[in-house]
Amino acid sequence: MQISFNHRTLKLNIPAVMGILNVTPDSFSDGGKFIDKNKAFAHAVKMVDEGADIIDIGGESTRPGAAYVSEDEEASRVVPIVSKIAANLDVMISVDTSRPAIIKECVKEGAHIWNDIRALTEPDAVECAAKLQIPVCLMHMQGTPSTMQNNPSYKNVVEEVKNFLLQRAEICLKAGIKENNIILDPGFGFGKSVDDNYLLLKHLDVLCACPYPILSALSRKSMLGAVLNEPVASLRDNASVSGAVISVMKGAKIVRVHNVKATKDAILIASKVLNTD
């Protein structure tokens, strides 16, 4: 498996580490730390130095109750840092957005992956991705960011998430998006109870058996805090690394994380185990 776009290719024979760069004032873990463009770029440099294969840039917080962000505001946060990273760092860039207009501008500046929590369900999103031929990450979410944790309910969370993601992938294929440009994300924490999240993690191999690479994004999330009894997101890094290793052992090809160095080290060890006969 590999991802290719904008003259860059990332092979996934060793699972990739995606470093999180939130250029928002209100993200759940590090909101406000990197709203300044210089600080954002410095953090990107640090993550690349620590081994990040992808930098994932987000300009809109999707935590429950997050404030609405206009398209212009999102663009002003995201596009300049995409441009600066693309011009100066040897790394793939993904953009965490649901808006076609944002991804179009970011691709012009050098972005490589469209990471969409809404799985290209916004108007014209699928058509835009097909026209750009950009790799897309489709995420499962029950409800919307503002309502998703009110009362999530499933009969079989693993099968329902899998079926939704495969349905979205099929829609993408029919629109002209190439099969090798599709990544799936079960959406840990997005419209799921704590038990739902752990069932998904326990059975992540079911999703990994699908013909698309799986991205696991559980870094610092409340599913970890619930078990640790740790309300401070930034103090959940040890558990985040554990979750990343479990994900990779189950078959995930990309892990999205805050702590790149610790995760990269752990993933290299896990990959050595997986690839040793």
Q: Known catalytic residues? A: 221, 256
Please spell the DSSP secondary structure of 25-51, one letter per residue.
S--TTTTTTT-SHHHHHHHHHHHHHTT
Q: What are phi and psi of 207, to 5 degrees?
A: -70, -40
Say if CB 177 and CB 126 are below 8 A apart: yes
- State how far the Cα of 56 lies from the Cα of 115, in Å rounded to an integer: 8
- State how far the Cα of 40 lies from the Cα of 44, in Å rounded to an integer: 6
Residue type, 18: M
Say if CB 67 and CB 27 are below 8 A apart: no
- Residue 178, both tokens: 């190439």
- State how far the Cα of 127 lies from the Cα of 134, in Å rounded to an integer: 11
Please provide the distance, in angstroms rounded to a whole number, between the alpha carbons at the two ends of the chain. Answer: 20
Say if CB 54 and CB 113 are below 8 A apart: yes
Burial of 118-150, coded b for 16+ CB within 10 Å and e otherwise, reads bbbeeeebbebbbebebbbbbbbbbeebeebbe
DSSP-derived secondary structure letter, 143:
S
Beta strands in 113-238 (DSSP E): 113-116, 136-139, 182-185, 215-216
- State how far the Cα of 96 lies from the Cα of 113, in Å rounded to an integer: 9
